[in-house]
Chains A and B, each alone.
Chain A
Amino acid sequence: MSELQRQAMDAATQKLEARGFTWPGIWKEQMSRLGRTIKKHRWLYLMMVPSLIFFVVFMYWPLWNSQIAFKDFKPLLGVEGSPFIGFQHFVAFFKSFYFSQLITNTVIFSLMRLVFGIPLAIILALALYETCFNRFRGFVQTISYMPHFLSWVIMYGVLLVLLSPGSGMVNEAIKASGGEPIAFLTSPDWFRVVVIGSDIWKETGWGTIIYLAALMSLDQSLFEAAAVDGASRLQRIWHISLPGIAGVIVVVTLLRLGTILDGGFQQIFVLYSLPVYSVGDIIDTWVYRQGVLEFQFSLATAVGLFKGVIGLVLVVSANKLAKKLAGSGIY
């Protein structure tokens, strides 16, 4: 509270008290205490002002704009001025042919990433933890984290070098062994395999960090005690390492389930093409095409909002469950 405001308030209080009006003592006390604490921390509040403005403009304003999901948005009339039409866009989407296809594709991508990606990351983390060569461990970590930092456009270039029917490495191998080259990226039979495979290639190394940290924090004496009791290496992994990181595995899995409707927009957007829409189109890519390419702003917003609501429910419940089962979540 600024000095000016305080003076104004004091003046107003005196005026009221002069007329025989008395403030309830406790309330007054609390108000001034609040004023004091705010004044004491004013620099901290001031520090947050720029980022809080950011949140209002780039986070809350879009939320406000989401109302066009219930309107027939006309750019000339603006967000507030466009006529209200209720749930029409939602109904149109639920009834459309695309609805089940988009949900199916999105969920398949998310689940396949989860089912194949998480176990591989756990195995890699265990192997990194167990190896007796420290420098080798460091080298494998450095190299396997790296693809995480490559964008999907770069990955597309790498995939072309590997998979293109003309000069791709894999197709060269197929041709050399007498087979017909396969157009992996444009074949509906292969597109999902390429998406999942490339995602696993890119993210598995990075995914080990959290498991490795959990392994590092396990009590060494447990392993030693087990060794004295004659447990083999595999038995120690099975009975000590895995139960020790089970909590982290549960949290990671639950949080990934919470984002099941994000089928990996950046990746699909770069990799997909018309021939593979039937197996590759996800909610976000469809929203992009409807909204940006077809100018169906309201419909695209409605579908985005639908996804947002489901996503919110899933993330919040996943987080609750993670906290309950393993004692930690993301927030």
Chain B
Amino acid sequence: MNIRLRARDDIIFQILVNGFLLSMLIAVIIPLWRVLMMSITPLNHLDNGTLGLWIAPRDWSIEAYHQLLTHPSFLRAATNSLIIMTSGTTINLLLTVPLAYALSNKRLPGRKLIITFILIPYLFRAGLIPNYLVVQKLGLVDSFLAVILPTGVSVLYTLIMKSYFEGLPEEFKEAARLDGAGEFQVLTRVILPLSKPILLTIGLFYAVSHWNEFFNAILYLHDPKLTPLPVLLRNILLAANINEYVEYNAFSLAPVQAIKAASVFITMLPMVLIYPWMQRHFTKGTLLGGVKE
């Protein structure tokens, strides 16, 4: 009797738990689904006022995507974002990995001092204007370096990576050193091959922040040729007259709303595609390193 009762309780409990998860899932998907549907809505449906509450369009067209992806300024913005993302992430990793590796060596004299040195500006941020003055003084305004260099090293990611390196077995390093390997060789031949999960995770975080680069671009990139995708996207979204940013053909078959939604969707697409592939590394404890120490 008692056991059967508990089995019934368990079933009810599972129904509640999974029902809750399902509702959260739907809550996340609906807005994104709606953006996708809006982006493929053809003009005649808008005119008929059938934009209503339907979930899927009865008729669809990829006209909005076609217009955006053949438009020079949109393509240029996407290229700019790709350049910023790839070169920025490369610089991030080239700076972060050696720093994290050196600091993971607990016998390094002065280690505590250097950790304090990088923690001070992390805890006490100078603020917008003092940073702006540095970029201006270095003459970086209107160059991609202005959005890449100031975010060169993240203190948090360095600490996470450092504690990952600390967790690797010491014997491997010792063995390599006994074989006469220098520190650079230990890092590239021994440590890095063992660190794929953390390199992918931190690399993804850096890449995402560059792809999403928005505020620094507004501050430092005034030349329209250098505009990255998120800035163009905001201009398109805010535009009273969309022609200022993307020429809107009067004979176009896509409504303005579809063009806006399509540009939102294209901007989020790379993240949506790369991310599930990286996701399995997140829960393997790689993220908690910095918090756990």
Contacts and interface: CB of A to CB of B under 8 A. Distances in A.
Whether chain B is bound by chain A comes out as yes
Interface of A: 34, 37-38, 41, 43-45, 47-48, 50-52, 54-55, 57-66, 68, 79, 123-124, 127-128, 130-133, 136-137, 139-147, 149-154, 156-158, 160-162, 167, 169, 172-173, 176, 201, 204-205, 209-210, 212-213, 216, 230, 232-234, 251, 265-266, 269-270, 284, 287-288, 291-292, 297, 300-301, 304-305, 307-309, 311-312, 315-316, 328-331
B32 A158 contact: yes
**Dominant SS among interface residues on chain B:** helix
B285 A146 contact: no
Interface in B84-108: 94-96, 98-99, 101-103, 105, 108
A47 B17 contact: no
18 contacts: A43-B183, A47-B98, A48-B103, A51-B158, A54-B95, A68-B129, A140-B21, A143-B28, A157-B233, A158-B264, A160-B260, A167-B46, A233-B9, A266-B214, A270-B214, A297-B129, A305-B126, A308-B127
B121 A59 contact: yes
Contacts of B13: 130, 233-234
Most A-side CB within 10 Å, residue of B17, B133, B212, B272: B133
B184 A161 contact: no
B214 A331 contact: no
Contact of A48 (B114, B128, B263, B282): B114
Interface string B21-56: 100110111011011001000000010000111000
B109 A41 contact: yes
Interface of B: 2, 6, 9-10, 13-14, 17-18, 20-21, 24-25, 27-29, 31-32, 34-35, 38, 46, 51-53, 94-96, 98-99, 101-103, 105, 108-109, 114, 117-119, 121, 123-134, 138, 149-150, 152-153, 156, 158-159, 182-184, 187, 208, 211-212, 214-215, 219, 230-231, 233-234, 237, 257, 260-261, 263-264, 267-268, 271-272, 275-276, 279, 282-283, 285, 287-288, 290-293
B105 A62 contact: no
A304 B264 contact: no
Given A140-B25, A144-B24, A212-B283, A301 B130 contact: yes
Given A60-B121, A328-B291, A266 B215 contact: yes
A319 B283 CA distance: 24
Contacts of A213: 283, 285, 287-288
**Dominant SS among interface residues on chain A:** helix
A63 B126 contact: yes
Contact of B149 (A58, A123, A161, A216): A58
B17 A51 contact: no
A64 B120 CA distance: 13
A16 to B, nearest CB: 26
Contacts of B260: 157, 160-161
Given A127-B21, A149-B271, A209-B287, A43 B153 contact: no
Nearest to B233: A153
A145 B279 contact: yes
B123 A315 contact: yes
A139 B18 CA distance: 12
Given A45-B102, A47-B102, A154-B267, A169 B283 contact: no
Contacts of B264: 154, 157-158, 161
A130 B11 CA distance: 12
Contact of A58 (B2, B128, B152): B152
Contact of B96 (A51, A141, A173, A301): A51
Contact of B109 (A38, A131, A142, A204): A38
B95 A161 contact: no
A266 B128 CA distance: 13
A232 B127 CA distance: 52
Contacts of A210: 287-288, 291
Contacts of B21: 124, 127-128, 131, 136-137, 140
A223 B162 CA distance: 34
A143 B29 contact: yes
Contacts of A51: 95-96, 98-99, 152-153, 158
A308 B199 CA distance: 31
Given A38-B109, A143-B25, A151 B212 contact: yes
Contacts of B211: 151
Contacts of A57: 134, 138
Nearest to B103: A48
B221 to A, nearest CB: 14
Given A128-B21, A157-B264, A161-B35, A209 B123 contact: no
A44 B105 contact: yes
A195 to B, nearest CB: 15
